[in-house]
């Protein structure tokens, strides 16, 4: 069967693209096939990100914060965001919102099959599942089929277990989110808690590590229990939601398109949208989606070549990761220096690829020269 577009993988990137295609008066008339092995009916993740304006998914923002906090044992900084808002969207709300919207379009077909291969010629791309083959002008792929090899030399894993907890008594201030609390044992690598209260008696508490290997399942749970009891002083609570995630923080190249297969466009984590130094992906998915839609509207290829500025941000990112991977500095040291010396809003701008060159010079000036210069030079000449 032949379509205009096939979306392989209906997660954050696939569904963001579908939603944007269907928002456009012309592109929404295209025939679109969405293929995923999963029906996306679970609340499997919670996305947080920051933006200045109301975004595409404003109506499903679960909670937002204008006040954030960064902590270590010896230092605490609470700050109010002027321009940005830190926002949370629950996976299930996102999936339900877009899937309900797409139901209004007869030209959109969903198919729940395991994708085995995706290939392309000069004129069309073909996707094969365990049941059938489908072709289209373009296949937008967010499955890991073309992902590069991840190993302990080129990558750290950002792994975390998050619990949404509910207490009987009001114990949280839902106007303040803890972005990073590094006052924890750092023996496995950068280790912090993330505490996002959504009401006076509900919060998402996440135990997060950047390290080469995952921990035993029980270790995440023990750390969460200890933190909730000792640091948050909460003795009685109910776990209302649990999530576990692993995000690659990698120097390996996630190609925008597999070699000589320009009818296949990798998107999302598979397309290299995950920020190597922080794991944040959601806001970069939205930015890339906008660029692809703009290209398609003008009859151009949606294979977007990175701009000079994007290449610069990618280089900064790889530099920070290289410093952590080569153990020149720990994640705790890097983030502590930044939060001690720089305006937090500017840090968010830098981490969101929205800073100015002047701010980037200030950021570079805030960190120790020797480890960063050697990693920056190494990454400048690396092929990825």
Ligand X SMILES: Cc1cc2nc3c(=O)[nH]c(=O)nc-3n(C[C@H](O)[C@H](O)[C@H](O)COP(=O)(O)OP(=O)(O)OC[C@H]3O[C@@H](n4cnc5c(N)ncnc54)[C@H](O)[C@@H]3O)c2cc1C
247: contact with ligand X by CB under 6 A: yes
Distance separating alpha carbons of residues 116 and 133, to the nearest angstrom = 10
276: contact with ligand X by CB under 6 A: no
214 burial class (0-12, 13-18, 19+ CB within 10 angstroms)? middle
Number of residues near ligand X (by CB under 6 A): 28
Among 42-50, 148-156, 291-299, 373-381, the segment contacting ligand X (CB under 6 A) = 42-50
143: contact with ligand X by CB under 6 A: yes
Nearer to ligand X, 115 or 338 (CB): 115
Token pair of 325 as six digits: 């991977």
Among 10-18, 287-295, 313-321, 361-369, the segment contacting ligand X (CB under 6 A) = 10-18
Q: Which runs of consecutive H residues, i.e. helices, occur in 153-275? A: 217-226
Q: For residue 229, what is the DSSP state? A: I
Of 327, 328, 317, 160, give the one whose Cα is nearest residue 251.
317
Contact 45, 279 (CB under 8 A): no
Is the alpha carbon torsion for 290, 149, 118, 93 positive or negative? negative
331: contact with ligand X by CB under 6 A: no
Token pair of 359 as six digits: 């701010």
Tell me how far, at minimum, the Cβ of 381 lies from ligand X, in Å.
29
Tell me how far, at minimum, the Cβ of 368 lies from ligand X, in Å.
28
Tell me how far, at minimum, the Cβ of 143 lies from ligand X, in Å.
4
Beta-carbon-side half-sphere exposure of residue 355 (alpha carbons within 13 Å): 22
266: contact with ligand X by CB under 6 A: no
Contact 254, 314 (CB under 8 A): no
Tell me how far, at minimum, the Cβ of 274 lies from ligand X, in Å.
6
Nearer to ligand X, 13 or 205 (CB): 13
Find the binder of ligand X among 6, 9, 99, 266 (CB under 6 A).
Answer: 9
154: contact with ligand X by CB under 6 A: no
250: contact with ligand X by CB under 6 A: no
- Helix, strand, coil % in the chain, rounded to nearest 5: 35, 30, 35
Name residue 238's beta-bridge partners. Answer: 166
Nearer to ligand X, 72 or 143 (CB): 143
Find the binder of ligand X among 7, 11, 118, 210 (CB under 6 A).
Answer: 11
Tell me how far, at minimum, the Cβ of 170 lies from ligand X, in Å.
25
CB atoms within 10 A of CB 349: 21
Distance separating alpha carbons of residues 32 and 197, to the nearest angstrom = 39
Token pair of 283 as six digits: 């806001």
Of 117, 136, 137, 138, give the one whose Cα is nearest residue 1.
136
Binding to ligand X, residues 205-244 (CB under 6 A): 243
List the x/- string, 100-119, binding to ligand X by CB under 6 A: --------------xx----
Nearer to ligand X, 118 or 329 (CB): 118
Tell me how far, at minimum, the Cβ of 8 lies from ligand X, in Å.
7
Find the binder of ligand X among 70, 280, 313, 335 (CB under 6 A).
Answer: 280
45: contact with ligand X by CB under 6 A: yes
Name residue 41's beta-bridge partners. Answer: none
Interacting residue ranges for ligand X, rule: CB under 6 A: 9-14, 36-38, 45-49, 114-115, 142-144, 243, 245, 247, 268-270, 280-282
């Amino acid at each position: 069967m032949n379509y205009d577009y096939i979306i392989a993988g209906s997660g954050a990137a696939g569904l963001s693209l579908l939603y944007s295609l269907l928002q456009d008066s012309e592109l929404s008339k295209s025939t679109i096939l969405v293929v995923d092995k999963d029906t996306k009916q679970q609340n499997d993740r919670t996305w947080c990100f920051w933006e200045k304006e109301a975004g595409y998914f404003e109506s499903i923002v679960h909670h937002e914060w204008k006040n954030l906090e960064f902590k270590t044992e010896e230092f605490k900084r609470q700050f109010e965001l002027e321009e940005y808002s830190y926002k949370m969207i629950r996976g299930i709300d996102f999936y339900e919102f877009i899937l309900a919207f797409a139901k209004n379009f007869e030209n959109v077909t969903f198919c729940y099959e395991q994708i085995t291969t995706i290939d392309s010629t000069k004129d069309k791309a073909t996707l094969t599942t365990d049941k059938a083959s489908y072709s289209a002008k373009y296949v937008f792929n967010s499955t890991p089929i073309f992902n590069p090899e991840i190993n302990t030399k080129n990558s750290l894993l950002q792994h975390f277990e998050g619990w949404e907890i509910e207490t009987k008594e009001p114990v949280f201030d839902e106007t303040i989110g803890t972005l990073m609390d590094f006052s924890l044992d750092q023996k496995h690598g950068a280790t912090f808690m993330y505490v996002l209260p959504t009401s006076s008696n509900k919060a998402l508490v996440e135990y997060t590590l950047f390290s080469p290997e995952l921990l035993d399942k029980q270790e995440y749970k023990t750390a969460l229990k200890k933190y909730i009891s000792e640091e948050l002083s909460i003795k009685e609570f109910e776990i209302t939601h649990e999530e576990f995630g692993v995000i690659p923080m990698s120097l390996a190249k996630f190609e925008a398109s597999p070699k000589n297969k320009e009818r296949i466009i990798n998107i999302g984590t598979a397309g290299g949208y995950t920020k190597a130094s922080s794991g944040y992906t959601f806001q970069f998915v939205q930015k890339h989606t906008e660029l692809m839609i703009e290209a398609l509207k003008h009859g151009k290829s949606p294979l977007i070549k990175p701009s000079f500025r994007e290449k610069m941000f990618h280089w900064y990112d790889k530099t920070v990761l290289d410093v952590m991977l080569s153990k020149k500095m720990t994640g705790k040291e890097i983030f502590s220096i930044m939060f001690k010396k720089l305006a937090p809003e500017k840090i968010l701008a830098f981490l969101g690829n929205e800073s100015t060159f002047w701010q980037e010079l200030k950021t570079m000036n805030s960190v120790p020269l020797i480890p960063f210069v050697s990693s920056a030079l190494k990454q400048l000449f690396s092929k990825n």
